[in-house]
Amino acid sequence: MTRMALEMTETAPAPIDRGQDASLWQALMGDGAPDWERDGAAWPNRTASRFVEAGGLRFHVQVMGAGPVVLLLHGTGAATHSWRDLAPALARRFTVIAPDLPGHGFTEMPGWPRMSLPGMAGALNALLDALALKPDLIVGHSAGAAIGIEMCRNGRLAPAGLVSLNGALLPYRGNMTRVFSPIAKVFAMNPLVPRLFAWRARSPAVVHRLLAGTGSTIDAAGETHYAALVRHSGHAASALTMMANWNLDAIETDLPRFAPRLLLVTGANDRAISPREAERIARMVPGARLVSMPKLGHLAHEEAPVETARIIEEFATAIGVCGA
**pLDDT number for residue 189:** 56
Residue 190 banded pLDDT, cuts 50, 70, 90: low
**HSE toward the beta carbon, residue 287, CA cutoff 13 A:** 12
Q: Report angle CA 276, 147, 302 to the nearest 5 degrees.
A: 65
**137 has which bridge partners?**
70, 161
**pLDDT number for residue 220:** 93
Residue 125 banded pLDDT, cuts 50, 70, 90: very high
Q: What CA–CA distance (Å, rounded) separates 130 from 124?
A: 10
Residue 288: what residue type? A
Q: What CA–CA distance (Å, rounded) separates 279 from 264?
A: 8
Residue 182: what residue type? P
Give me the percent of the chain exceeding a pLDDT of 70. 82
Write down the mean pLDDT value for the chain: 85
Say yes or no to pLDDT of 232 above 80.
yes
Say yes or no to pLDDT of 129 above 50.
yes
Q: What CA–CA distance (Å, rounded) separates 112 from 119?
A: 9
Say yes or no to pLDDT of 55 above 80.
yes
CA separation, residue 254 to residues 22, 147, 199, 258, 287 (Å): 52, 14, 40, 6, 15
Mean pLDDT, range 193-204, rounded to an integer: 70
Residue 241 banded pLDDT, cuts 50, 70, 90: confident
User: Residue 32's closest CA among 204, 223, 201, 229?
Assistant: 229
**pLDDT number for residue 185:** 56
Q: What CA–CA distance (Å, rounded) separates 191 from 204?
A: 23
Q: What CA–CA distance (Å, rounded) separates 250 from 32?
A: 33
**pLDDT number for residue 305:** 98
Mean pLDDT, range 310-314, rounded to an integer: 98
Residue 113 banded pLDDT, cuts 50, 70, 90: confident
- Please count the residues of the chain: 324
Say yes or no to pLDDT of 177 above 60.
no
**pLDDT number for residue 199:** 62
Residue 26 banded pLDDT, cuts 50, 70, 90: very low
**pLDDT number for residue 3:** 40
Residue with the larger pLDDT of the pair 175 and 167: 167
**pLDDT number for residue 192:** 62
Strand positions, DSSP E, 157-251:
161-165
Residue with the larger pLDDT of the pair 148 and 11: 148
162's CB contacts (< 8 A; 6+ apart) are: 137, 138, 139, 140, 145, 148, 149, 152, 258, 260, 261, 262, 263
Give me the percent of the chain exceeding a pLDDT of 90. 66
Chain segment 69-109, per-residue pLDDT in tens: 999 999 998 999 999 999 999 999 999 999 999 999 999 98
Residue with the larger pLDDT of the pair 324 and 184: 324
Residue 14 banded pLDDT, cuts 50, 70, 90: very low
CA torsion angle 103 67 307 252 (round to 10) = 50
Residue 243 banded pLDDT, cuts 50, 70, 90: confident
Chain segment 268-283, per-residue pLDDT in tens: 999 999 999 999 999 9
Chain segment 298-307, per-residue pLDDT in tens: 999 999 999 9
Say yes or no to pLDDT of 320 above 90.
yes
Q: Three-state DSSP class for 321?
A: coil
